[in-house]
Structure 1
Amino acid sequence: MTMKKAMPMLTVAALGCAAAVGAGDAGHHDVDLTRPHLDVIPRTADEARRVADVTSPATQFDEAEPFEANGGGAATVPVRNDADAFSLSSANMPFERELDFKVGNGLFRKLWVSAPSSTQVSDGLGPLYNSRGCQSCHLKDGRGHPPEGPDDDAVSMFLRVSVPAPDTADIDALDAFLLSLGDSSERTAPDPVYGGQLQDFALQGHPAEYRLGIAYDEIEVPLSGGETAMLRSPVYTAEDLGYGPLADGAMLSPRVAPQMIGLGLLEAIPAADILAQADPDDADGDGISGRAQIVWSFEFDRPMLGRFGLKAGAPTIREQSASAFAGDIGISSPIFPAPSGDCTEEQAECLAAPNGNTGTPEGTEIGTEGLDFVTFYSRNLAVPQRRDVDDPQVLRGKEMFHTVGCTGCHTPKHVTDRLGDQPEQSFQLIWPYTDLLLHDMGPGLADNRPEGRASGREWRTAPLWGIGLTEQVSGHTYYLHDGRARSLLEAVLWHGGEAEAARDAVVEMSVADRAALIRFLESL
Structure 2
Amino acid sequence: MRRPVNLLRRARRADIDGLPHQKSPRYRIYRGVLLLLAITLSAIATAGEPVPAGLASSRTDLTPKDQARVLAVTRPTTDFTKPEQFELMQGGAGTSEKDVNRDAFSQSSANITFEEEGTFKLGNALFRKNWVSSPSSTQASDGLGPLFNERACQNCHLKDGRGRPPEGGIGSSSMFLRLARDASNAEERAALADHKALNFPDPIYGSQLQDLAVPGLKGEGRMRVEYSEEKVTLGDGSVVSLRKPTYTAEGLAYGPLDPRTTLSPRLTPPMIGLGLIEQIAPSDILAHADPDDRDGDGISGRANIVRDALSGEPTLGRFGWKAQAASIRQQAADAFAGDIGISTPEEPKHWGDCTQAEKACFAMPDGVQQRLGTAEAPPPVMDLVTFYSQNLAVPARRDIGTRQVLAGKKQFYEMGCISCHTPKFVTMRGNKAQAFQLIWPYSDFLLHDMGEDLADGQRVGEASGSEWRTPPLWGIGLTATVNGNSFYLHDGRARTLAEAILRHGGEGRKARDRFAGAAAADRDALIKFLESL
TM-score, normalised to structure 1, is 0.90
1:356-395 equivalences under 5 Å are 356-358=367-369, 361-395=372-406
Contact 2:123/2:388 (<8 A) preserved: yes
In the alignment, the residues of structure 2 paired with residue 170 and residue 245 of structure 1 have an alpha-carbon distance, to the nearest angstrom, of 23
Question: Deviation at 1:361?
Answer: 3.6
Question: Deviation at 1:225?
Answer: 2.4
Contact 2:457/2:465 (<8 A) preserved: yes
- How many correspondences in the alignment? 491
1:8-47 equivalences under 5 Å are 32-34=51-53, 42-47=61-66
Question: Which SS does the other structure have where 1:424 is aligned?
Answer: helix
Cα 1:187–1:269 change in 2 (3 A) is closer
Question: 2:507 aligned with 1:495, yes or no?
Answer: no
Aligned-residue RMSD, C-alpha: 2.1
Structure 1 counterpart of 2:507, one-letter code: E
- Aligned residue in 1 for 2:286: 275
Structure 1, unaligned runs of 5 or more: 1-20, 179-185
In the alignment, the residues of structure 2 paired with residue 350 and residue 109 of structure 1 have an alpha-carbon distance, to the nearest angstrom, of 25
Structure 2 counterpart of 1:67, one-letter code: F
Identify which of 172, 180, 193 aligns with 1:154. 172
In the alignment, the residues of structure 1 paired with residue 255 and residue 363 of structure 2 have an alpha-carbon distance, to the nearest angstrom, of 19
Question: Which SS does the other structure have where 1:399 is aligned?
Answer: helix
Question: Deviation at 1:167?
Answer: 1.2
Question: Deviation at 1:171?
Answer: 5.7
Structure 2 counterpart of 1:50, one-letter code: R
Question: Which SS does the other structure have where 2:350 is aligned?
Answer: coil
1:426-437 equivalences under 5 Å are 426-437=435-446
Question: Deviation at 1:169?
Answer: 3.3
Question: Which SS does the other structure have where 2:248 is aligned?
Answer: strand
Question: Which SS does the other structure have where 2:314 is aligned?
Answer: strand
Identify which of 258, 268, 274 aligns with 1:247. 258
Question: 2:227 aligned with 1:209, yes or no?
Answer: no
- Aligned residue in 2 for 1:287: 298
Question: Deviation at 1:32?
Answer: 3.8
1:140-289 equivalences under 5 Å are 140-149=159-168, 153-170=171-188, 175-176=193-194, 188-289=199-300
Question: 2:320 aligned with 1:301, yes or no?
Answer: no
Question: Deviation at 1:205?
Answer: 1.4
Question: Deviation at 1:149?
Answer: 2.1
Question: Deviation at 1:174?
Answer: 5.4
Identify which range, 335-344 or 163-172, moves more after superposition.
Answer: 163-172
Question: Deviation at 1:300?
Answer: 2.4
In the alignment, the residues of structure 2 paired with residue 51 and residue 165 of structure 1 have an alpha-carbon distance, to the nearest angstrom, of 42
* Higher RCO, 1 vs 2 (CA within 8 Å, ≥6 residues apart): 1
In the alignment, the residues of structure 2 paired with residue 41 and residue 91 of structure 1 have an alpha-carbon distance, to the nearest angstrom, of 27
Structure 1 counterpart of 2:439, one-letter code: I
TM-score, normalised to structure 2, is 0.89
- Aligned residue in 1 for 2:459: 450
Question: Deviation at 1:224?
Answer: 2.5
In the alignment, the residues of structure 1 paired with residue 4 and residue 61 of structure 2 have an alpha-carbon distance, to the nearest angstrom, of 26
In the alignment, the residues of structure 2 paired with residue 443 and residue 170 of structure 1 have an alpha-carbon distance, to the nearest angstrom, of 26
- Aligned residue in 2 for 1:515: 524
Question: Deviation at 1:170?
Answer: 4.6
In the alignment, the residues of structure 2 paired with residue 277 and residue 176 of structure 1 have an alpha-carbon distance, to the nearest angstrom, of 24
Contact 1:24/1:280 (<8 A) preserved: no
Structure 2 counterpart of 1:157, one-letter code: M
In the alignment, the residues of structure 2 paired with residue 35 and residue 110 of structure 1 have an alpha-carbon distance, to the nearest angstrom, of 33
- Aligned residue in 2 for 1:134: 153
Identify which of 308, 318, 321 aligns with 1:310. 321
- Aligned residue in 2 for 1:461: 470
Residues 160-194 of structure 1: CA deviation (Å, up to 9, x unaligned): 0112322143566653259xxxxxxx974111111
In the alignment, the residues of structure 2 paired with residue 252 and residue 212 of structure 1 have an alpha-carbon distance, to the nearest angstrom, of 10
Question: 2:94 aligned with 1:83, yes or no?
Answer: no
In the alignment, the residues of structure 2 paired with residue 385 and residue 188 of structure 1 have an alpha-carbon distance, to the nearest angstrom, of 38
Question: Deviation at 1:35?
Answer: 5.3
In the alignment, the residues of structure 2 paired with residue 23 and residue 50 of structure 1 have an alpha-carbon distance, to the nearest angstrom, of 21
- Aligned residue in 1 for 2:428: 417
Identify which of 84, 90, 101 aligns with 1:65. 84
Contact 1:163/1:248 (<8 A) preserved: no
Contact 2:394/2:474 (<8 A) preserved: yes
